[in-house]
Amino acid sequence: MTELPPSGSRPAPDPVRSSRAVLDDAGVRRSLVRIAHEIVERNDAAKDLYVVAIPNGGVPLGRSIVANIEEISATAPPLGILDTTLYRDDLTTSGERPPLRETEMPSSVDGRVVVLIEDVVNTGRTIRAAMDALMDFGRPRSVQVVALVDRGHRELPIKIDYVGKNIPTQPDDRVRLIADPLGVEPMKVVLEELVGGMAPPTEEGAG
- The CA-atom distances, in angstroms, between 162 and each of 35, 66, 158 are 6, 15, 12
Reported as a single tens digit per residue, the pLDDT across 82-128 is 999 877 666 555 556 666 668 999 999 999 999 999 999 999 999 99
Contact partners, residue 130, CB within 8 Å, separation at least 6: 52, 54, 82, 84, 87, 116, 118
> Tell me, what's the pLDDT at 90?
61
Share of the chain above pLDDT 90, in %: 70
| Domains within the chain, CATH numbers bracketed | 24-170 (3.40.50.2020)
pTM of the model: 0.82
> Tell me, what's the pLDDT at 12?
56
Counting Cα atoms < 13 Å in the Cβ hemisphere of 169 gives 28
The continuous run of DSSP H or E covering 26 comes out as: helix 25-42
Residues 54/125, Cβ–Cβ less than 8 Å: no
Residue 65 has pLDDT above 80, yes or no: yes
Reported as a single tens digit per residue, the pLDDT across 29-53 is 999 999 999 999 999 888 999 999 9
Q: Which has more confidence, 96 or 165?
A: 165
Reference 148, options 193, 207, 77, 194; nearest CA is 207
Rounded Cα distance between 179 and 59, Å, is 9
